Structure 1
């Protein structure tokens, strides 16, 4: 692994617990990692520790096999050959684009400096913009100038701290795809911080979910969604809901197991835990909006509590007669009224269960 973080703690003076606790992850050269989580979860603190802007109190951080941070070692930020892109881009308003990008290249002769500026501006699709000033650019263009400036000195690692936070929501996912293309074309290794799941899924090879200073899971997007390691990850990624269920032996399914749920029994499940996985088989089943299908002929009925229009579909929040709340994606031509009862059925491909929390 090119970037290796091993059991890292970061403590702030006067705080009762670490801002980051026991964080471990590995990032291969040329890959893009993303740290995601709610505000205050520790993701930016961990990024700053990698940059050398925060000291670690336990564990270590290695870059290319070299220990750059530990309880005893702290390589200065400027010696780590790391590029950073900040939330506000931090462009110099009195310098044109060319001089902004060249800021970290003052050690090069003028001709080489100009050549490198032209190379990275072409890479971010801003060729020929050297003489323009930041105020003449759109937010997305300013973000690409900041990226070009960070890439110009050929850092061994790029760190990006919510670089799209000042942009319109509609732009973010598209720019995340563009940014991934730029970083991949440059062969860059990068660690990216965001609170937006769509950004994380669009850009990341590996994604880490953080909460209360702990890194709960470091995995690809598919695994985070379908095989969450903790209840928090399951709840945070995809915004699922939990319903009580019981795993029982199913003699009709060749000795397998079925799930008894408020939506009826779920059978013929290839990845269902065995009944002995939980006390008396009782567990909580994760159901996401894509696990619930609107079907007028289904025997199970649910009342519409809320609905959010999403263009091609509604996101319905539903309540069963037994009181459980569910969510469902429904095509937008099925425009039912609040309070209306509609038929639903489960379509669960991946069974995700956790110990029952009661209620």
Structure 2
């Protein structure tokens, strides 16, 4: 990694089009969205497409999830031999019920012995480095972050990313950085901190207060790859670069859209891009009307014309005010 800034794996978001855009803004490492072990084993078409990695995204961590040792190992072996990922990451943090009820994701957090067994089996089966992304615990009564991270290290895992929330918190409440610090002090492998990093200043504070080796940015990068760039620059020089202009936001949004079309086809890409376009517009004055209109767009031209007209109107108003 050329810097400690890491893009988090976000389901339904971190496809190649988004990752490549974030990578160009300077991320030291990007994670792909989690992929089902069963989907890989049964060669599900959608799953197979999720394994695509552009060489320009590297270094990249490809994340898999599953609840059974045999299928997880088989999937990891496939990723090891058939993809150009640099790292195989195991998901131990997803809080969503449809994942946890399959004994996958955050369900592992309740059993350090299972973590050791599963991670060791994957490490033994593959050549690529194996890492884990986890939460601090299942709920307030079951926080085994230190034991779980130590199990990962003993099993041969080469790094651990820790989200400072429990499974019960989902994405609410505050991230507990104190427990991430305890994990960092308890293991010798690299620790990446995650949770409540919304500004470049937060990232610096996390690195200093927690002592972690990397800082993972998730929701703050949605529609805002500048967060990555601004964080990298702030950590390097202490300089806080300004926010992008509305025109810059729209230009990158359209670039992102075109990459998504190349990856998936126009119909699917435009449908998926609606949420991203809303994120790109966040913080721009007077965006409510256009955000509503985005949801009716079905073609690239409709979406591009809508966004371009909006930013042109905005610039016109600003020039009148300035004049």
TM-score by length of 1: 0.34
The two structures have a TM-score, normalised by structure 2, of: 0.36
More helix by share: 2
Larger radius of gyration: 1
